[in-house]
Chain A
Amino acid sequence: MKLSVRMVVVLTSIGLLSGSFLATVGHLTKERIALNKQREIEEAIIQVIPGTVSTQKLYEERDLSVYGGKDEQGTVIGFAIHASGIGFQDRITLMLGTNTSLERTNRLAILDQKETPGLGAKITDAESFLQYWENRDCSGAISLRKPAARSAEELLPSEINTITGATISSEAVLGIVNSSLEHTRRLLKEGKLSSEAQDVN
C-alpha cells in the first residue's frame, strides 16, 4: 500500500473506532450525568424553599435560571433563583429562594465558590452569613451593614450583615443577588414566569 494511503486509512480507522466507542460510552452515561445535575439543582431548591415537593424550570438564560417550587397540590409556593457572578477569587454560584411576589427572601444557598478558606469562604457558613438572608425584605435592593452589626436584631428588614474581614466576598454575593432579583422581577412583570405558559410548551 502506498504510504499516503496507509496514513489516511490508519488514522481514519482509529478515528472511527474511537468515535464509535465513545458514542457507546456517552450513551451509557448520558442519563446518569443528567440525573446527577438535576438532583443537585433539586436538592438546592428544596433547601431554599422549604415545603417544596416538586420543582419546575420556569426560565433559563446565561448565568440566571428561575425555578418554581411547588407544594403537593402543584401550586407554585416560591421562586428559586439560580444565579452566578464574579466573587473575590472565582465565580460564585448561588440559589436564592423567594416568595411568589418576589418581596421576601426565603433562604440563600451557595452552590459553588472558591473564596479564601477561613475568610471569604464563610459565605457558605450559616451562622456568620447565610442566617441573615432568611426572611429579608427584598421588594427593593438589599443592602449590606458595614461595619457588621453585633446581632441580627440590629439589622433593618432589608439589611444583611457583612462577614468581618471578608467585605469583598459579602459584597459579591449581595451584587449577584440584587442584580438577579431585579432581573427576575422584570421577568415576572413581563409574565415570563408563569408555570402554565411553560406547561403548554
Chain B
Amino acid sequence: MSTKTIGQEFIKGLWDENPVFRQLLGLCPTLAVTGAVINGLAMGLATTFVLIFSSLVVSSIKKLIPSQVRIASYIIIIATFVTVADRFLAAFFPPISKNLGPYVPLIVVNCIILGRQEAFSSKNTVWRSLIDALGMSAGFVLAMLVLSAIREILGAGTFLGYQVMGAWFEPWIIMILPPGAFITLGILLALALHIEHRTKSRK
C-alpha cells in the first residue's frame, strides 16, 4: 500500500517516476509516433484512456483475481480497452488512425500500462489507482508532447501543422524519421539525468 498523499501520488508521475524519462517504459510508441505533435498527442490520449480504465477495473476486482492468472486477466482487460480506443479512432478520426497505424493496437504491450497494474492497481484502492493512472498518463503525455514538439519543429518547421519557423529555415528531415527519434530521446534522457544529479547534489 502506498503511503503518499493524494497530491504526491499524482505528482510523482510527472517527474520522479515519469514513465518515459525516469522509468524508460513505453519507449516503442514514444519513438515511433512522435514525428508530429498531433500523432504524439493522439497516442498520449489513447494511452491515457486505456491506462485509466484498466487501472479502474483492475483495482476494483483485484481481490477476485487469483494471483496465478493475474497477468492473463490484466492483459484481457487492457486489450479490451485498447480495441475500444482503436475502433473509436478508426470510426471518428480516420486520418489519425491511419497515421498511428499498428501503434494503437500495440498499446496492449506498452509496459507502462501492464506495469502500473502489476505495481500499483493490484495493491491499492480504486481512488488511489485512478490518481496514479492520471499522474502516469499526464507524465506520458508530457513526454510525448516534448518529444514530438522538438521533432516536428526541427523536422518540418511546424507545430501542430502551423508554420512556426521562418522561410529561411530548412527542415531537418532526419528529425521526423526514426533516427531523429533516437537522437532526440537520447538527448532528453541525458538532460533528465543531468537535472536529477543536480537536484540530488543540492540536497
Contacts and interface: CB of A to CB of B under 8 A. Distances in A.
Q: Assess A/B contact in the complex (Cβ within 8 A).
A: yes
Interface of A: 3, 6-7, 10-11, 14-15, 18, 21-22, 25-26, 29, 32-33, 36, 40, 116-118
Tell me the interface secondary structure of chain A in the complex.
helix
B76 A7 contact: no
A15 B83 contact: no
B166 interface: no
**Chain B interface, >50% SS class:** helix
A128 B146 CA distance: 35
Interface in B60-78: 64-66, 68-69, 72-73, 76-77
A25 B87 contact: yes
Nearest to B176: A117
B62 to A, nearest CB: 11
Given A10-B64, A14-B76, A18-B76, 20 more contacts: A7-B66, A10-B65, A10-B69, A10-B73, A11-B73, A25-B83, A25-B88, A26-B87, A29-B87, A29-B88, A29-B90, A29-B91, A32-B91, A36-B90, A36-B91, A40-B94, A117-B156, A117-B171, A117-B176, A118-B171
Contact of B80 (A3, A21, A36, A117): A21
A18 B143 CA distance: 31
Q: How large is the interface on B (under 10, 10 to 19, 20 to 34, 35 or more residues)?
A: 20 to 34
B73 A14 contact: yes
Contacts of A118: 171, 173
28 contacts: A6-B66, A7-B68, A10-B66, A10-B69, A11-B72, A11-B73, A14-B73, A14-B76, A14-B77, A15-B76, A18-B77, A22-B83, A22-B84, A25-B83, A29-B88, A29-B90, A32-B92, A33-B87, A33-B90, A33-B91, A36-B91, A36-B94, A116-B173, A117-B156, A117-B171, A117-B173, A118-B171, A118-B173
